[in-house]
Structure formats: C-alpha cells, structure tokens
Structure 1
Amino acid sequence: MIETAPITEKAVIVGLINSQQDERQVKEYLDELEFLADTAGAVVLKKFTQKMDIPNKATFVGPGKLEEIGNYIKVVEADTVIFDDELSPTQLRNIERQLECKILDRTNLILDIFAKRAQTAHAKTQVELAQYQYLLPRLTRMWTHLERQRGGIGMRGPGETQIETDRRIILEKIARLKEQLIKIDKQKATQRKNRGKLVRVALVGYTNVGKSTIMNMMAKSEVFAENKLFATLDTTVRKVVIENIPFLLADTVGFIRKLPHGLVESFKSTLDEVREADILLHIVDISHPGFEEQIETVNNTLKEIDAGDKPLIYIFNKIDAFTYEEKDEDDLTPRTKANFTLNEWKNSWMAKDNTPALFISAIEKENIDVFKQKIYDEVKKIHVQRFPFNDYLYEITEE
C-alpha cells in the first residue's frame, strides 16, 4: 500500500485593527493565528488587516476588503480564509457566499486542533461537546442531514423541517456527551482522592511556553512536547521526589487568547487538577515579545475557573532564547520594553510583586538547581503541616 503525504491547505488570514486591539497587537494576534493554522496543517500565504471601529455585521470586514480578499484567493487558488475573531452565523453565510471557499474563524480552528490532538476518551468527549455547542447556532448555513446518522426513516418528528431535525439531534448528542463527562469526572475525582494527602503542584501557562518540557525534566517522564500549540490536551500527573519530599506534579492544557468560552466550559473538568492544586507554577515564555499579555490571559482564565487565589510562582522560561533591541547612543527616541535587558526585566515589576519569580531555561538546564530548591522549599512548608511526624524523621535524617 502506497502512503500519500497529507495535502497542505493554502490559507489566508484576516484581522481587524480597532480601539480594542492596535496595529502592533493585531500583528501579534495574526502571527499566533498563523501558528495555529500551521499546527492544524495549513500554510498561510497572506495576512489581511483592516481598520474598523466595529466589525461589519454582515461580512466582518468592509465590502471593498472582502472583494480584495476574494480576488487574491482566486489568483493563488487558496482553499481557506481564517478570521481572527469568532464570526456570527450571518457573517459566515455571507462570506462563504461571496468568497466561495472554506471559511473558518479562530474558534473553529482551535476546535479543529483540539480534535486532532485529543488522545483519551475524556479529551475526545470534551472536544466533541464543544464542537456541537459551536455548531448548534450555525445550523442555518449547513445542509448536514444529520438524521442519516440515526437511520433516517422513522426518526423525524411530524412536520419538522430539516433544520429542526438537525437541531434536535444535536441537542440530544450534547445531552449524551454531558452525561458521559459527568461519569468520567466522577472517576477522575475518585482517582484524585486515592492519591492521598500528597502536596499537589500544577504547571499552568500559555500554550507552547515549555510546560511539558519542564514536566519531563522534573518527573523524568515522556510527556509529548513539541514546538506546536496545544501539544498537550490531557492532564498528566506524575509523582516527583526532590531530596526527601514527595509531591504530585500535573501538566495541564495551555491557555490562549480568545479561547472559546464553550471550550473553557468543556475543559473545566480537566482543569480540576489546577483548582485542587496546592501550588501553581505559572510558566512564562520570556522570549515571547507579548509575554506580559500572555500572563494576563492566563491569570484571567485562572480567575474564570476559580483558581485565581492559589499560591503561585512565576517561572520565566526560555531565558536562553531571550533577545532585546540595543539602542544606539545617538538614538533619542524613548526606550520601549523591546529594549529591556533580561536584568532590567528582573528588576522591574517582577521584583516588586509579592509573587516569587524564577528565571530558567528548561532546554539548556540553566538555573534548574535554584528552581528545584524553590519548589522543594514551598512544597515542604505544606508537607510538614500534613505529615508532622515525617518531618521529625526528615530532620533526624538531615542531621
């Protein structure tokens, strides 16, 4: 049997510049969208932007810009147009009608990546639920004939239209998936209880910041890690021992800007490991130019899942990849954060904040001893409260 290589889709991506996101931010968002497209298996040929106060209700961008996009995709024979924000059903329908190609929004693209990455029954069920919740309000633009999956004849209610039938089938699927998740959640809750009182530490952070690499380094495990977004979907928990203190370390799904609310809802059970953790290690890619915005995104998501008040340590990873723009002495323009050296960052808000901050490179093993010592110190504070007799034995051993 001859294996053929998967066909790479050709795509263009589109974003809006407005009062909520300036030109610099939109460039960064579109770079991230391009990374998402690459993760999904598409190559981005061109990025389109337009300055608009609010999206066009009918076509997201203006008629002239949409015509420009249409002319371009015909010339390059692009397969897909991806928009950086979630499109309404009306916008999707109108854009598809004019461009006559596949139209995706950021939410749809993320859902596609999650479906591709899901490995366990838990993750697959969560993704499927989020997909159906996304699909439900968009049925008017689709001729899905979902009743064929149910055998067709005898399944349609009296007088129902195709859309009503499809909607009913999807609602039934959503209800069934929710029931499955409840059963899985109960099983996972039992697993967490069986782990006893060991201190729990969870790795959290933006996607692709090095959480899985740190997990592999700490637990000597083989958690999948690569330079792609959402390499990890399923929470992995490993027992780790530093010196004489055992604890549980959990690697969790990465967060991202504009994460679909339905996806957050579906994955809340996966994030139980975060909610039940004693300590959060917030991993940050300090080499990323927008790392401060990524920090804010993660902190906002932690609040959304009721984990915003957990003890937290910032771990600024990838210091080996950190770069800055040197200014000439004759350059009189004001300095920006792009000109900050690593030491200047260390002495900025990172030093003034009450939250501890460490600077490491998980790949190059820089400052790992300091990192492990800090984790040990913080875990031990909690451990000795739960196991006072063991602490007495540890003190004898240390003497």
Structure 2
Amino acid sequence: MTQFRHAKVYIGLAVVIAVFAYSAFSIAQLPGSDGLPGGAGYISDEVWYVTSARNILHDFFKATANSPYFTTTPNCLINGTLVKEYTKIEAVTVKGEVSCYIRKGYPYPDKEGILSYYNFEHPPLVKYILAAVEAIRDEPLFWRIPSIIFGSATLLLVFLSARRIAGPIWALTASALMIFDNTFRAMSGIAMLDVYLGFFTALLAYFHVSGRTLSSGIALGLAASVKYSGAFPIFGLAYLLGVRRFTAVILMATAVFLLVNMPIAGQLGLGRWVNEIIGALSWHTTSRPPGPTASTPLDWLFMQNSFALYVNPDIYASGTPAYLVALIYALYKRDEVSILYLSTYGGYWLVYLAGNHTLYSFYTAHFSPLAHIVLAKLFSDLAKRGT
C-alpha cells in the first residue's frame, strides 16, 4: 500500500511538471517584437540578454551563431536580400551571401549600441548558456527552451527539498502551487535570467537540507554567476552554519564564480574585469531613469505594481499570495529553509535601502522556490495539528 501511495505521488509530480512545462512552452511560442519585420522577435528584456549572448559568442569565444542572417553594412552584400533596416544602428540585416559582416545571427532589436553590448551588469553564466543555444540554432523558440527546462527542473527541486522536511504529499502540493505563480511560470518561457536564478537557489536549498555543505557552495557560486543577487542566501548561511562550514561554502562559491568568469576576465584583463564588477554593483544600488513599472519588495507580497512582460495576451509578473503567507510563517518558524527565504527576500530590501528604487516584480522568481518549500512545511505542521 505504501509503495502504491508513493507511486501516485510521483505520477502526480510528473503530471504537475508536464502541465508547468506546457504552460511555459505556450509563452515561449509568443511572437515577440523587434526581430524579423512582420515576424517573430524578442520578448521583454530578451533584447538585452539574447543579444549580449550572441556578442559574447562572437567576440569572446570566436564562434558564430547558426543563422542565415547577417548584420552588416550595405556594401558587404554580394547576393541576397535586405531583411531589416535600423534607425539606431549603422547597419542592416541581410539574408544571403556577404563579403563581410559585423554579426551573424538573428536580427537585432533596434537599440543603440546593441552590437557591442555584453550585459556586464550581470555575471555571464546565462549568457554562456544562451550563446551555446545560438551556436546550435539562433531563433526565438530555441533561446527559450533552456528556460523551460530550468523552470520545470525547479519544480522537481522544490519537491525533493520539501519532501525532506514535510513529506511527499505536501512536497507535491508545494510543487503544484508553483503552476499558479504567474511570475515564475512566465519567466520559464522567456530567455531572461531570473528563472535560472530560481533554479540554482532551489538547488542550494536542496543541498542544504541534504547536509551537503560543499555542494551548497557550488550552488551558491552558480547562482551568483547568474546575477549578483544570487549571493543573497549568504546571510542565512552565515546564520545557520558554523564558522568552519560557512568558510568552506564561501571558498567553494568563490571558486565557482571565478571559474565561470575566467573567459571574460581572461580577455578583458583583470583590472578592467574588476572595474566592470565595481561598476555593476554601483549600477545595482542606483535607481534607473523612469521606464517600466517599478515596485518595492513590499509590493511583491501584495501583487502590486507588477511588471508587464507581454501585451495581448497580457502577461504580468504578478506573483502569487504564497510569498506573503510563506514570509509570515518563515518569520514565525525560523527553521533552515525559512532563514534562507528570509535572507534572499531581505537582500532585495538591502538593495532598495542602498538607493535602487527601480526594482521589478519579476525578481521574485529568485525566491519563489524557497517560498513554496516553506509552504510545504506550513501545510505539514497544520496537518499535524489537525490530527
């Protein structure tokens, strides 16, 4: 009977992940804009991450995207057709035979400076992943496939972590609830950074609850290699671990971060690379000019001032009530995953207080897995009280 019950749980988990993946895939098939004229293009901030990945592929790895398109100057076209003209770039995109080109790959968005943009505001790990995909096939749906995979895999990590602290039934419940997280589901269908951040943070939680200290350091280093905010769990780890284990985690995370950054640092030179990091940290603690709807970490708990990811159909990074419920319980419980959640969420308050008031609601994809693991423990404790 126990084996049959466990089998039903795992079948349920497979169904949950399949439903989530299909939902993310549906978003990944949206046409986007500012790509091919009259055709598919970029969704939201893909304009920065996909293009910087293509530039890194060309300039740092000396490889080209697999695409029939070339962004070049008109005099380089030998035999082919003009595909796209730009107003903010001194170039055109063509399809056919060329004698020279600036970039090979899917047509760029019409953004000033985009042909030499590397997105040094953030570490390079996800750009490497996107660059590898572009080397295979540089098209919108292909950019988004890794997000679908990482997002779906995050549900598995939530289940595995929650199962250890709350049991399989409530772990399945927590994973299923992530389907209703509008932010995490949407980000899993878009080639941006935050779903990767959520995955590696969930991986950190899994290793931590499994007692695998050095592996936790690896996960922390990978998260910090996606965005510098990936390091926010460090405050919780400092509280939870003794000096010796915390030192081991920090050393491992630092080693991973440096290893990921070696291709960039090696070509930029150590001095410029360090300056880029300093500049990025300054950028992250400074408000940007008015633009997309900004929000505070408090807004995220009440699903206010949500970032618009897509229009018609309207897709907002509006989150879920789970963030608030989990936060209240985490403040009460203060167990290990609760501390990691409080640390990660609290890191955004530090950024806000440091002076950056242009935060966006899609950042919640970072800590959504932790919130749902905390919810599993809440459900488990409530069930025990009811028996």
Shorter-normalised TM-score: what interval? under 0.3
What TM-score does the superposition give when structure 2 sets the normalisation length? 0.24
Give the TM-score, by structure 1 length: 0.23
Higher RCO structure, 1 or 2 (CA under 8 Å, sep 6+): 2
Structure number with higher helix proportion? 2
Instruction: Choose 1 or 2 for highest CA Rg.
Output: 1
